[in-house]
Amino acid sequence: MSTSQQLSSPEQWVDEHGDALYRFALSRLQNPSAAEDVVQETFLAALKARKQFSGRSPERTWLIGILKHKIVDLVRKESRERPAEEIDDLPSDADLLFDPAGRWRTGPLEWQVHPEKILERKEFRAVLQRCLSNLPKRLRDAFFLREMEDQSSEEICKVLAITPTNLWVVLYRARTRLQNCLNKNWFSDPDRRGE
């Protein structure tokens, strides 16, 4: 323990940060066992690197930083193992949303919501999680790197081994599908549309 005054013991890490790391991992990977594995790897890597912990940032921030790298490594590895042609087979909700002439069928619903406020509602969080986990993996990977991590298109294309044109199609499909899912499962109730 002498080398790590600022750090709590490894067992304490799991109690103190296990949930937060797991939430973070699951939000990106949507697969519980993959998320558990990557959290374990993160703690093990942290154990090895604990001498380098400067104490300048909080322990949690340091651990999440390691976790982010592990997740991107995993996504990169999986993308390398999967052929890129699959992108054309990925589902698109566009045919449901638009008529053959390219006009909206019913159109998106109005969401008059404040993001922080709507997230206070447990039922909404559950619906959002369900919609995210229903995204096909490839759409989800691109979507989390772009929307949650705010990475640039170039960085994401490198990680996923796809072209920018493909990436923009993938992001469009992910957004449209998620919005359609939220429209159907949450905002279709008029009481939930405003605040």
Partner 1 sequence: MLTCREISKWVSESLDRKLPLHLRVEVRLHLMMCRMCRRYRRQTVALRTILRVQDPSMAPTAFSDIHLSKGASERIKKALTTANE
* Spatial distance between the Cα atoms of 140 and 100, rounded to a whole number of angstroms: 27
Which tokens hold the place of 126? 């559950």
Dist. CA 192–CA 74, nearest whole Å: 37
- The single residue among 4, 31, 34, 40 that binds partner 1, judged by CB under 8 A, is 40
Nearer to partner 1, 62 or 79 (CB): 62
Question: Could you say whether residue 93 binds partner 1 (CB under 8 A)?
Answer: no
Of 153 and 185, nearer to partner 1 (C-beta) is 153
Residue 22 as a binder of partner 1 (CB under 8 A): the answer is yes
User: Do 63 and 13 contact (CB within 8 A), yes or no?
Assistant: yes
**36 counts as binding partner 1 under rule CB under 8 A:** yes
90 binds partner 1 (CB under 8 A): no
How far apart are the C-alpha atoms of 51 and 6, rounded to whole Å? Answer: 10
Q: Between residue 151 and residue 170, which ones bind partner 1 under the rule CB under 8 A?
A: 153, 164, 167-168
- Please report the DSSP string for 128-189 in residue order: HHHHHHTS-HHHHHHHIIIIIS---HHHHHHHHT--HHHHHHHHHHHHHHHHHHHIIIIITS
Does 128 help bind partner 1 (rule: CB under 8 A)? yes
Binding site for partner 1 (CB under 8 A): 10-11, 13-15, 18-24, 26-27, 36, 39-40, 43-44, 47-48, 60-61, 64, 94, 97-98, 101-104, 107-111, 113, 115-116, 118-119, 122, 125-126, 128-129, 132, 146-148, 150, 153, 164, 167-168, 171-172, 175-176, 178-179, 182
